[in-house]
Copies of this chain bind each other. A is one copy, B any other.
Amino acid sequence: MFISKTSEYALRILTYMALNSETQLSATILFEELRIPKRYLMRLLTDLSKSGFIQATRGRSGGYVFARPLESIFFSEIIDSVEGLLSYEGCVLGNPVCPIDKPCAMHHIWDKPKLTFLQTLKTTTLADLKEADNI
């Protein structure tokens, strides 16, 4: 399942906003562009505000803009705030610890994909999207 649906939504919201970061975007516009149930989307927007990623302006001509520079927002931080990153860091077989002298059966096999995954999340920011877009 990789990431939760809520994480997927959060990424969809923030990547869309990142690619349109010049303009303030209202929940209604985001709803029309992304395929996320409106009320759930609004709740996520509030969550993302509270987490400090975006900033809300209330009132008639309100909407959302980023509260921080895109270069400072790593994907790892987004997923961490939505569903936590711990379950990704831990042992695949769910062992509380996976000691180096007696690792779990799948340790060696899982190591590489896990590292690639976490490294990507931890080294990529929303600002990198615009770069990637030009490849």
Contact = CB atoms under 8 A, between A and B. Distances in A.
A129 B133 CA distance: 40
B92 A2 contact: yes
Size bracket of the A interface:
35 or more
**Chain A contact residues: helix, strand, loop or mixed:** helix
Contacts of A116: 112-113, 116-117
Given A11-B106, A105-B18, A106-B11, A120 B112 contact: yes
Contacts of A3: 1, 92
A12 to B, nearest CB: 5
Contacts of A93: 8, 11-12, 15
Given A5-B94, A109-B120, 20 more contacts: A1-B1, A1-B4, A1-B87, A2-B87, A2-B92, A3-B92, A11-B93, A12-B93, A15-B105, A19-B105, A107-B132, A108-B132, A109-B124, A109-B129, A113-B116, A113-B117, A113-B119, A113-B120, A116-B117, A117-B117
